[in-house]
Amino acid sequence: MKLSTHYYVLSLSERSSRLYECFRDNLIDIQNSGFPFKSIVYPDGPNRPGVKETCLRDFIRKTDQHFDSYYKQDPLTLVVIGEKELLRIFRAVTTHPEPIIGFIEGYYSDTSLHDLGKIVWAVDKAAMGGTEKMAIHELEKEVGRRKNALGIEAVARAADSEVGATLFVEEDYHVKSTIRKTDRSVYISKHVDINDVIDDAVDVVIERVLANDGNVFFLDSGSLIKFQRIALIAPEQDLGDS
């Protein structure tokens, strides 16, 4: 399972389960066949402890089955959120342990999509490498030792051909672009829909680096200005002219 900035979030509560499709910290609430999935188990209901446990297991098992239909269509990684007891049951009954990259314990049903996006993105970002205090130091050292790709256009050209490369990028850096149908290359243009989060050259580059077994480090805004906000370093061989 390849790590990605495009992933799922499954939110569990005793009242309902919800599924989100996520691009970094932007969440899309899936409201279609299967989700939201409502439960008949209520925390203030008359269910006896043993009966409630059985009902919760059945509810979460069915939630996992609903998720299966989406996962088969688009097998992305998964972050699961919910209170401790619900996460315990989910771990026991799920048939999808492979794509899970993290669990977040707590009640988040009333959390705004904006705030929830920040919380789950931190988990996905950490799974891809996160930020490290020594990242800039390592970047500066490697830039001095070998050729590299700096800036979105050079990095986009290099990302396809390099296996095991390391990408350094500012966390809030986005560049609107489109993808050429002929060779799948990234075309930087000002004339694209700014509301289309998929047409983001930076996300495309991240996806390609990860697909080629590379690593991604996200750094604070403004920390990579002298590197044009994004840089790619090859593992051993030179990148060639950029």
What pLDDT, on the 0 to 100 scale, is given for residue 64?
Answer: 97
Residues 120 and 15 in one domain: yes
Tell me the C-alpha distance between 28 and 53, whole Å. 30
Whether residue 12 lies inside any domain: the answer is yes
Q: Does position 142 have pLDDT exceeding 60, yes or no?
A: yes
> What residues make up the domain containing 219?
135-233
Question: Same structural domain for residues 177 and 99?
Answer: no
Considering the domain architecture, whether residues 74 and 144 belong to the same structural domain is answered as no
The answer as to whether 167 is a domain residue is: yes
Shared domain check, 163 and 123: no
Q: For residues 103 and 147, state if they share a domain.
A: no
> Which of 123, 124, 177, 182 has its CA nearest to residue 155?
177
* Cα–Cα dist 75/1, whole Å: 8
Residues 71 and 93 in one domain: yes
Of 41, 12, 26, 40, residue with least CA distance to 197? 26
Of the pLDDT bands very low, low, confident and very high (cuts 50, 70, 90), residue 199 is low
Q: Are residues 88 and 140 in the same domain?
A: no
Q: What is the pLDDT of residue 144?
A: 75
Residue whose structure tokens are 């899936």: 30
Q: Is residue 60 part of a domain?
A: yes
Within a domain: residue 1?
no
On whether both 41 and 59 belong to a single domain, the answer is yes
- What three-state secondary structure class fits 79? strand
For residues 14-29, give the mean pLDDT: 94
Q: β-strand 186-188 against 77-82: which pairing, if any?
A: unpaired
Is position 241 within any domain? no
- Output the average pLDDT for the chain: 84
The confidence score (pLDDT) of residue 89 equals 97
Residue ending a domain, among 127, 150, 179, is 127
Residue 148 and residue 118 in one domain: no
**pLDDT tens figures, 28-68:** 999 988 899 998 765 555 556 677 888 899 999 999 999 99
Q: What is the pLDDT, as a whole number, of residue 167?
A: 92
Give the Cα separation of 177 and 203 in Å (integer).
10
Rounded to two decimals, the pTM is 0.72
pLDDT of residue 242: 45
Weakest-pLDDT range from 17-21, 141-145, 224-228: 141-145
The DSSP code sequence of 7-42 is EEEEEE-SSEEEEEEEETTEEEE--BTTBSEE-S--
- What is the domain-level CATH number for residue 160? 3.30.1330.30
Predicted local distance difference test score (pLDDT) of residue 178: 64
Judge whether 238 lies within some domain.
no
Selection from 239, 234, 179, 240 nearest residue 204 by Cα: 179
Q: In which band, very low, low, confident or very high, does the pLDDT at 87 lie, cut at 50, 70 and 90?
A: very high
Residues 10 and 110 reside in one and the same domain: yes
* Structural domains counted in the chain: 2
CATH code (residue 74): 3.30.420.60
Spatial separation of the C-alpha atoms in residues 22 and 159, rounded to whole Å: 23
Q: Band the pLDDT of 179: cuts 50, 70, 90.
A: low
- pLDDT for the residue 130: 59
Give the domain-ending residue among 104, 127, 150.
127
Q: Of 118, 123, 125, 98, which Cα lies nearest the Cα of 210?
A: 125
Domain annotation covers residue 239: no
The helix (H) or strand (E) run that includes residue 100 is: strand 100-105
Q: Are residues 60 and 169 in the same domain?
A: no
* In-domain check, residue 77: yes
Q: Which of 75, 108, 127 is the last residue of a domain?
A: 127
